[in-house]
Every structure is written in structure tokens, then in C-alpha cells.
A and B are shown apart, each in its own frame.
Chain A
């Protein structure tokens, strides 16, 4: 199934992306919200504070804190008692949560955090790329990436559905590009309050902190048992692969909107060239593909929704008959000269009978705009790879030679 949206215009309203996400969060009935404001996440938590002040979210506390470290620590304690919890952050704020991220995933607490993706300092930069969340890919959190405002909002509900599944019990980052999605006004269907109970069950974990039945979370695990905790986490990630697909299918059944499960495809059936990417760049890529298809270029899109768990089998299935794969990454691992999709896509094909060349591009770093021309030029370079093989495996896009 490819993207399907049964939407009529009378269902939609034009709002800012941050509002749509805050509204969706409200509809999911969290019990505890804790966050620290930081650009470009600020509007989300402002809207949520307003909802709380107006008494629009029942049984919910908004706990003010002095840092992101405390915000997530607050949610760790809250979630362990069986509360549904939410936060949102970005960039340096997510980096400050780093230590607590591992506590949340290790204690198997299905906290949901909207990461409004932004570059990391230094040099200081408030604009969008995805270095912040990609840098946390080993933290044991499920990571989902949204293409537009509608998906970013609906994904909050899907995140609770997946994270709180008894076979998963993992925290989830819903990643949306800063400014590009958080500050855009566009038509959306605000998540339907009257349908949510058909989709999301109340959170009722098997184990919770309760004075009447005392337990300890995240206590001591010596060498004799620590490995098995890590193994269980990996098993949960593995279970999440199917659960993410099911959460997307169930969402379609209840709300009539589908954005793909682990991945989505666009015009890949006969594609020689497949562009892989995640986040708000997907919309621009769809337009580029439509233009190039008119000129006979067989190009398609593989949209990655889940970076963790990484959908190796789904990706291999899509790319196996293509001639070249382009990965577009708004992040880099310095010293590898590659972004995450490039490295991981190559890795998942090794030891298989698929041997498709992969070329990687670091793009849109620190908010640099991505015009259609830039992607068209990359597709031209991919055509050269089909004809004469790889000359440059991975590179920066639109480098300004005058500054180097």
C-alpha cells in the first residue's frame, strides 16, 4: 500500500505545524507533559501550556523544569508509575537529554518526544537539519520521521500505539523538521478527538511503580545479567518492525490516512534510480520525480519513516531491481564522510545477493535551502553512475567554494 489520504477539504483547516502537533498530543490524552522551551520547538510547548491552562486536557499535569535533562527525568519517573507522558525538544535540548534517553529506553518506558529537528552547535545555528536525532540513534529509542504537518501530528498517536505495545515498551521520537514543518501554515485535518478511542487504548503497563506493590526500575545489573537486558531491548526493537506497520494500517482503518509503515514508496516499480530520504525533503523530491518522469527519467522515491528500528528487509525489497540508489542525509558522521542512510543502506545490502551501487549526499545542513535543481543535479550524477560506475561514493551538496 502506498500513501493514501481520504481527506476532503471541508475536514481541513490551515494552522501552524506546531499547533497541529500540540493538538494531536492533547487528543492522545497524556497524563504528564514536561518540557523546556527551545527554538524551533517553542510553539508546541506554548500551545500545550495554553491547553493545560484552559483546562482542555483532563488528568494531565504540565511540570515546569529548568532544563531538558530534568524534563525527561520527570517523564521517566512519571512513566514508570503508568502515566502517559510527552515532551518535545530539539538540538542542544536533545543533546542535554542524552544520558536520560538511555535510562528511558533501558527501563522500557514508552515516553513520546517530538523532536523538532535542528542543527547542533558549534557554530550556533537554529535552523533545520537532522544531526540532533540521528546522533541519538543508538539510544534505544524508536525514531520515526514525518514528511509534512499532517503526518507529524498523526504520528504522535502512532508513536503511542507502537511504544506502549506490550511486545515493544520502548520510547519513541517523532521527528519533524524544524521551521520547515514546525512553522509552516498548511491545510491539515486536526487529529479527530471522537475517533481516538477506537485507535489508542489507555496505557496500562504490566509493571509500574506503586507504593502498594513496591518495585525498582533500572536498578543494578551486573555482568551476569546486563547483556540480557540489552538483548531484550533489541528483541523489542525487532518486534517494533511489525508493530509500526500495524500501527500505520490501523490508523488508516480508523482515520483514513496512511503515510507508509516503516517506509513508503513513490513510483519505484520500474525505477532505475531510487532516491532515499526522510523528513520534509520528501515533498520536494516527489515534485522533482514528477518533473523528471515527464522527461522519461525512471526515478522513484523510497521514503524512510523509521530509522530505528532500521527496516533492512523493506529497503532491500524496494531497491533490489534498481540500478542505483541515492541517499540524501541531513546529517554526517565526521570521519566517515557519510550520513546515516548512506552507511546503513550499504550495510544492509552487504552479505546479501543484492549489489546495487549507493551514492550518498549530505544535504540541507544547518538549514541550507534545498531547491529542486539541487536534487535534479544529483539525479544527473546518478545517471553517470549507471553508465560508468561510482566516482564519488559520498559527498557534501552545494558546497560554497568561496568559503573553503
Chain B
């Protein structure tokens, strides 16, 4: 079983990201589960959402304390939340940032990767909403999920032009992460 924790701020679509990841993983042939950290919803407050992906039906319902992967939607969270908490050296932290991974001094042995999802969002979608884009980066960074499944899930959730644009941005983030890690 793989466990993913999404860190974001209220209004950035962290819960939606976790849900779309679960939907995409299921269409890849895996079992999955996604749930929010049940905070009091306030725009801008730090929030978490969780996804589990496994080969068997998932029964565990605790929050995720030792994630395999972490997605950080907003790099300003890093000053106030220990985003890599509980990770080991096999883990990957994906941060939305135009900085390089080595610019982040996280207290972890996990690998840090960055993608400028905000720039992709502004270029492709025209709005700084990065949740779906980071799923493309996740697929590129981890090989846990087929990017086509993410694009399908995104298009189903956001029908029409907005979904098409998001899918395009997902692909772009996937390609960028792949390119940066050759």
C-alpha cells in the first residue's frame, strides 16, 4: 500500500486532488481511498488530504503518519507545517515552486522535487489553481499512476473546456518532471 499526503491551504483544492488521485488509481486497476483531514474549512488555513492506493481493498481509516509521498501545493506552508513529517529516505516530496529542490531545507531524508505548477497553471489554464497539475507531476515523479488516468479523472470532474485545459496542464507537469529527472 502507498500513502500520499497532500498539503495545501483551504480553497486550493487539496481534497479534490486527493479524490482525483483515488479515482485515477482505481481506473488503473488498484484499490484506493481518499479523505480530508476534517478541518474547519477556512480559506487560506493549512489543510491536509490523504490518499491510499493498494492492491487489496483498503480497510485502514486512520490519518496518514508515515507517507510514501507528499504533495505541497503552497511552498509558504513549509515555514509553518512539517510537511515531510514521518517520511523515510524512500519518500518523495513534490513541491509547487520555481525554486530548485536544494533550496528547500526540509528535515527529512526523503527526495525533494519541485515543479513550477503555478506558472503552468497561469500559462495553460489562466488561473493559479495547481491541484490537478501537481497530480501530473506526481505521476511523473513516482510511476505509481498512469497520467492518462489522471487526465480522464480530471476531465470527468471538470467537463468541457476547463477539464481539457486542466488535462493539458497535467501532461505538461508530467513532461517537465520527467525532463528534469533524466
Chain A interface residues toward B at CB < 8 A: 9, 12, 14, 16, 126-128, 148, 179-180, 183-187, 280-281, 283-284, 286-287, 367, 369-372
Contacts and interface: CB of A to CB of B under 8 A. Distances in A.
A183 B19 CA distance: 10
Residue of B18, B22, B35 contacting most chain A CB atoms (<10 Å)? B35
B29 A126 contact: no
Interface in B27-81: 29, 31-36, 38, 40, 57-63, 65
A9 B32 CA distance: 12
Chain B interface size range: 20 to 34
B23 interface: yes
Contacts of B26: 9, 12, 14, 187
A286 to B, nearest CB: 5
B60 A287 contact: yes
A280 B61 contact: yes
Most buried by A among B23, B58, B59, B61: B61
Contacts of B59: 148, 283-284, 286-287
Contacts of B23: 14, 185
Given A127-B38, A185-B35, A371-B65, 11 more contacts: A14-B22, A14-B23, A16-B19, A179-B35, A180-B35, A185-B32, A185-B33, A187-B32, A286-B59, A370-B61, A371-B63
Nearest to A286: B59
Interface of B: 18-19, 22-23, 26, 29, 31-36, 38, 40, 57-63, 65
Contacts of A287: 59-60
A287 B54 CA distance: 14
B21 to A, nearest CB: 9
B59 to A, nearest CB: 3
A179 B61 contact: no
Contacts of A126: 38, 40
Given A14-B26, A371-B62, A186 B33 contact: yes
A369 B60 contact: no
